Amino acid sequence: MRWSQVFIPTLREVPAEAEAPGHQLLLRAGYIRQVAAGVYAYLYLAQRSFLKITRIIREEMNRIGAQEFYLPALNPAELWKESGRWGVDVMFKFKDRNEHDMCLGITHEEEMTNIARSELRSYKQLPQIWYQIQEKFRDEPRPKSGLLRLRQFNMKDSYSFDLDDAGLDVSYDKHVDAYTRIFTRSGLRFLHVDAYSGMMGGKVSSEFTAPAESGEDWVAQCECGYAANLEKAEGRPVPVEDLPGDAPPEPFATPGLKTIDDLVKATGESPVRMIKTLVYIAESQPVVILLRGDHTLSETKLASVLGTGVFRPATPDEAFQLHGAHLGSLGPVGRKGVKILADSALELRRNMITGANRDDQHLRHVTPGRDFTAQFKDLRVVAEGDLCIRCGNRLRLVRSIELGHVFKLGRRYSETMHATVLDARGQEVPLVMGSYGIGVERILSAAAEQNHDDDGLFLPRAIAPFDVILTAANMDDESLRAAAEKLYSEMCEQSIDVLFDDRQERPGVKFKDADLIGVPYRVTVGKKKLASGLVEVFDRSTKQIQDVKLGEVVGTLRGKYLR
């Protein structure tokens, strides 16, 4: 392709709306343009990259025996009401002209299950793996980071249908292997980590994530190989030495002290010696939640413990009615008739400080288990430096970008939507399902975040819009132009994916654009080297230069750079 004939609107200035480096560069390099918050147009370069990404995905999904479908994004409400997911708050919902409730699909579990229950009758038809690469829609409350959190995006979603849990294990492992090959072929650095299932349902799930400083997720990682998304990660806090003695709880005045930070400043005590008290309302019932003073509640873990996602923080009035004190003076001592959940980091602790349930008063010498009764559960967000649950070494937190998510759904959808088959004994049993997604845009975004410098992008060859950019330093020079045209013809004949920069522009402009747009290799035809029968091959990622004889360029590219 000739640059003079295509639309690549590069920018010299950093767009004001972009913060992450990869987002900035995809805009500057002319890959994308914003249409609205969370909605982007994909221009020529982006579309070429996406086509390469989807080709890799298709090849690896076909390799595990998956069959490609294409289902409508427009869904009737009835399917989502059957599954119990009609209340998902990020769904675009509307009524059609006949006043029927409709939505735009956020995923396709419901539609795939509907097909399966209509068409699959016997265990002899199993296993099945169906996939599609299709647009999804989510009414994201805070779309951001360019292509990472969108309201309209492309996803590879696949669904497995098996007779039993053993079959699901096989389908799940097939997808893990396929995903590993997809992200490896895409040139990404990635981790496979334990994850929280969220609105998808199911009990087992894991994520593939790409470490990047601009990532929107955090992963807890240990040198032993343990890795988990922060929503799911577990860790043991570093042991804390408590004060000796068995004194009973003792009230002391804390006028105006409302937060843990206030108490730390006023008492000189560490937050690790304090109990933080939170009040939530779960399905109309109050729940008291206790954490160590320096820890943070994980609402995803709370949802798992409660067995419901229907909960919220109590209002100040609701907390006052329960405790008889205002926020900042709440505590567990003396609370009766209410569920108390305490994070496991508080178990076996003693002589701690907590609210006295009287305004402007706290208690010291509070010992969990002696002075109040609670259920101890893992409720907190893991912190940097916690101890690994597998080996005991320190955990470190790494920013990352979610690339894909795999779920063992089990019978979550087949039971609610009555998708069954007959087993070998002729008995009707629910299908056992898995669900597996990859964000197509996220692969390109992660590649941009992981592969850039001050000059621009250097994308992995497998997903870059072109393999090679051929630059004629001066198209007005007849000998340079003739040599470049000859090289271009030879590259096209040898099926090298080449962009020929034949524009009537200054060499500096061409080199800046070439560095910006992410093509991995640049072949430059310049006057000085051409006089010696040479052209320059430049590796964008390493910035190494090799001078190659004019007649050996295509062979060198094929033999060394494009193997």
Average pLDDT in the 363-383 region? 96
Name the domain boundary from 377, 406, 433: 377
At 410 the three-state DSSP class reads: strand
- Whether residue 243 lies inside any domain: the answer is no
Check whether residue 86 and residue 202 sit in a common domain: yes
Which class for 255: exposed (0-12), middle (13-18), buried (19 or more C-beta within 10 A)? Answer: exposed
CA–CA distances in Å: residue 234 to residues 158, 237, 277, 378: 29, 10, 21, 8
pLDDT computed for residue 88 by the predictor: 87
Average pLDDT in the 542-557 region? 96
CATH number at residue 177: 3.30.930.10
pLDDT computed for residue 271 by the predictor: 96
- Count of structural domains, the chain: 3
User: Is the confidence at residue 351, as pLDDT, over 90?
Assistant: yes
Give pLDDT tens digits for 278-311: 999 999 999 999 999 999 999 999 998 998 888 9
pLDDT computed for residue 60 by the predictor: 98
Check whether residue 60 and residue 87 sit in a common domain: yes
Interatomic CA distance for residues 195 and 39, integer angstroms: 27
Average pLDDT in the 355-377 region? 96
- Whether residue 59 lies inside any domain: the answer is yes
Average pLDDT in the 410-420 region? 95
User: Is the confidence at residue 201, as pLDDT, over 60?
Assistant: no
**Sole residue written with tokens 């052209």:** 535
- Whether residue 387 lies inside any domain: the answer is no
Which of 438, 423, 443, 466 has its CA nearest to residue 163?
Answer: 423
Q: How confident is the model at residue 63 (pLDDT cuts 50, 70, 90)?
A: very high
Give pLDDT tens digits for 388-407: 999 999 999 999 999 999 99
Check whether residue 296 and residue 266 sit in a common domain: yes
Which class for 384: exposed (0-12), middle (13-18), buried (19 or more C-beta within 10 A)? Answer: exposed
Q: How confident is the model at residue 16 (pLDDT cuts 50, 70, 90)?
A: confident
- Whether residue 245 lies inside any domain: the answer is no
User: Is the confidence at residue 47, as pLDDT, over 70?
Assistant: yes
Check whether residue 197 and residue 297 sit in a common domain: no
Average pLDDT in the 356-364 region? 96
Interatomic CA distance for residues 348 and 367, integer angstroms: 8
Check whether residue 428 and residue 502 sit in a common domain: no
pLDDT computed for residue 563 by the predictor: 86
3-state helix, strand, coil in the chain (%, to 5): 30, 30, 40
Check whether residue 263 and residue 228 sit in a common domain: no
Check whether residue 24 and residue 100 sit in a common domain: yes
Interatomic CA distance for residues 159 and 145, integer angstroms: 28
Which class for 428: exposed (0-12), middle (13-18), buried (19 or more C-beta within 10 A)? Answer: exposed
For the chain, how big is the Rg over CA atoms in Å? 29
Check whether residue 338 and residue 440 sit in a common domain: no
- Whether residue 453 lies inside any domain: the answer is no
Check whether residue 423 and residue 495 sit in a common domain: no
Give pLDDT tens digits for 138-163: 999 888 888 998 999 999 999 999 99
User: Is the confidence at residue 15, as pLDDT, over 90?
Assistant: no
Which of 206, 208, 210, 231 has its CA nearest to residue 220?
Answer: 231
Give pLDDT tens digits for 465-485: 999 999 999 999 999 999 999
Residue 517 CB partners (closer than 8 Å, separation 6+): 8, 10, 29, 30, 45, 456, 457, 465, 469
Check whether residue 64 and residue 194 sit in a common domain: yes
Interatomic CA distance for residues 409 and 34, integer angstroms: 35
Q: How confident is the model at residue 198 (pLDDT cuts 50, 70, 90)?
A: low
pLDDT computed for residue 218 by the predictor: 94
- Whether residue 301 lies inside any domain: the answer is yes
- Whether residue 392 lies inside any domain: the answer is no
Average pLDDT in the 60-66 region? 98
pLDDT computed for residue 145 by the predictor: 82
Spell out the SS3 assignment of 25-62.
Answer: HHHHCCCEEEEECCEEEECHHHHHHHHHHHHHHHHHHH
User: Is the confidence at residue 202, as pLDDT, over 70?
Assistant: no
**Range of the structural domain that residue 208 is part of:** 3-234+397-448
CATH number at residue 260: 3.90.960.10
pLDDT computed for residue 18 by the predictor: 87
- Whether residue 169 lies inside any domain: the answer is yes
pLDDT computed for residue 231 by the predictor: 86
Give pLDDT tens digits for 511-534: 999 999 999 999 999 999 999 999
Q: How confident is the model at residue 89 (pLDDT cuts 50, 70, 90)?
A: confident
User: Is the confidence at residue 199, as pLDDT, over 70?
Assistant: no
Which of 42, 70, 185, 155 has its CA nearest to residue 439?
Answer: 155
Check whether residue 276 and residue 331 sit in a common domain: yes
Check whether residue 112 and residue 222 sit in a common domain: yes
The residues that bridge with 68 in the sheet, in sequence order, are 131
